[in-house]
Structure 1
Amino acid sequence: MKFLFDMFPVLLFFITFKWGERNVTTAQSLVSDYLSGIVSGGATTAELAPILLATAVTLVASILQIGYLLVSRKKVDAMLWISFIIIMVFGGATLYFQSEAFIKWKPTVLYWCYCGAFALAQFVFRTNLIQAAMGSQIKLPAPVWTRLSYAWMIYFLAMGIINLYVAYNFSTDTWANFKLIAVVAIMPAFVIIQSLFLAKYMEEPAQ
């Protein structure tokens, strides 16, 4: 359930973008009617309308997501805050400058921020973020925790590179598909494969 909640803005982006592609005239009209005060020039082209509309919906969804957690007095994870700040900055720039380049860079910046956070914790503060989050639930040998941290660093670094490759070598439609697949398929698959590998090392916490 938490996974779906965290991915709510991404799913809305994909749905809105696909709808906008199939209803370009309506999407362009919505951008002109409701976003004219935000986008430079006050109007947009039919080509950019779907991604601008999807970006605007994502910004609203992210604000509602954070607002709900704050009003409910629930903890907002650090990574969710990072994601929120990045989407506000890059999404806002996408709308204002009418450039899809900013929103296409957003996943890469987010992935590399996560990679940097893991690296900073591991090499500077000598803290394993995975162990800090899961150490009370499972017990693993110290070298395995370290390998796990390295695996996530490599994963985030690689995903950032792949995102840029897809963004600059394929259509925006293909990039949007990849963006969704990365969230709902690639990451869960990575977690499952990792869990299967780690199963043999797991020890039950001492009672």
Structure 2
Amino acid sequence: MKQIIDFIPLIVFFVLYKMYDIYVATGALIVASALQIVLLYVLYKKVEKMQLITFVMVAIFGSMTLILHDADFIKWKVTIVYVVLALALAISHLMGKSAIKSMLGKELELPNQVWNKITWAWVVFFALCAALNVYVAFHLSQDIWVNFKVFGLLAATLLFTLLTGVYIYKYLPKDNKVE
């Protein structure tokens, strides 16, 4: 259920962009993101830090998009989210508290060098997504950017998650592997 709730603002943005324009879609994205936070809190009594950070960024950059009537601001939000993710993973790892290991380490027992490789792979992935978003957002049409944001980045993230799972599987202790 939580995963479905996570996609609601993105779906609302995409549908309203296709029906109207970037400004209607951006306004709806702000509202949908706020409702998402409320719904997550009501259902789970908890909201993840990254969801709050993303909401604040949607509210700030979305409001700037609407007030200044300039779609470039909402395009930058995507890049900044990926940069924040890359930096958060890198900094937490360098401080000796790998965020990925903290999230998954309770369920998975892996050697430290595997956690290190996974962390740096995700740092590079997020940095590449940020750079690619800048290129697509500011060198291609707005329609291409919206499709890229909604489908391209989502597909890339799902694929990278799958590849990470395949990589992890090789290092699982024999008794943890599903045969």
Query: Alpha carbons of 1:52 and 1:154: their partners in 2 closer, same or farther (altered >3 Å)?
Result: same
Contact 2:17 2:25 in 1 (8 A): yes
Contact 1:7 1:183 in 2 (8 A): no
Instruction: Provide the residue aligned with 1:56 in structure 2.
Output: 27
- Say which SS state the counterpart of residue 196 (structure 1) adopts: helix
Instruction: Provide the residue aligned with 2:53 in structure 1.
Output: 82
* Structure 1 Cα separation of the partners of residues 167 and 40 of structure 2: 34
Instruction: Provide the residue aligned with 2:147 in structure 1.
Output: 177
**Runs of 4+, deviation exceeding 3 Å:** none
Structure 1 unaligned blocks of 5 or more = 21-49
Displacement of 1:77: 0.8
Compute the TM-score of the two structures, normalised by the length of structure 2: 0.93
Displacement of 1:2: 2.6
Higher helix share: 2
Instruction: Provide the residue aligned with 1:162 in structure 2.
Output: 132
Instruction: Provide the residue aligned with 2:69 in structure 1.
Output: 98
Instruction: Provide the residue aligned with 1:14 in structure 2.
Output: 14
- Say which SS state the counterpart of residue 110 (structure 2) adopts: coil
Displacement of 1:83: 0.7
* Structure 2 Cα separation of the partners of residues 142 and 79 of structure 1: 25
Indicate yes or no: 2:80 matched with 1:113.
no
* Structure 1 Cα separation of the partners of residues 108 and 41 of structure 2: 30
- Say which SS state the counterpart of residue 126 (structure 1) adopts: coil
CA shift digits 1:2-43 (9 cap, x unpaired) = 3221121111111110111xxxxxxxxxxxxxxxxxxxxxxx
Bigger Rg, structure 1 or 2: 1
Indicate yes or no: 2:89 matched with 1:148.
no
- Say which SS state the counterpart of residue 162 (structure 1) adopts: helix
Query: Alpha carbons of 1:3 and 1:115: their partners in 2 closer, same or farther (altered >3 Å)?
Result: same
Query: Alpha carbons of 1:161 and 1:183: their partners in 2 closer, same or farther (altered >3 Å)?
Result: closer
Indicate yes or no: 2:89 matched with 1:127.
no
* Structure 1 Cα separation of the partners of residues 154 and 72 of structure 2: 23
* Structure 2 Cα separation of the partners of residues 55 and 191 of structure 1: 28
- Say which SS state the counterpart of residue 47 (structure 2) adopts: coil
Letter in 2 for 1:15: V
Displacement of 1:161: 0.3
Contact 1:69 1:75 in 2 (8 A): yes
Letter in 1 for 2:53: I
- Say which SS state the counterpart of residue 72 (structure 1) adopts: helix
Contact 2:13 2:29 in 1 (8 A): yes
Size of the aligned set, in residue pairs, is 175
Compute the TM-score of the two structures, normalised by the length of structure 1: 0.81
Query: Alpha carbons of 1:51 and 1:96: their partners in 2 closer, same or farther (altered >3 Å)?
Result: same
Displacement of 1:72: 3.5
Identical counterparts, % of pairs? 34
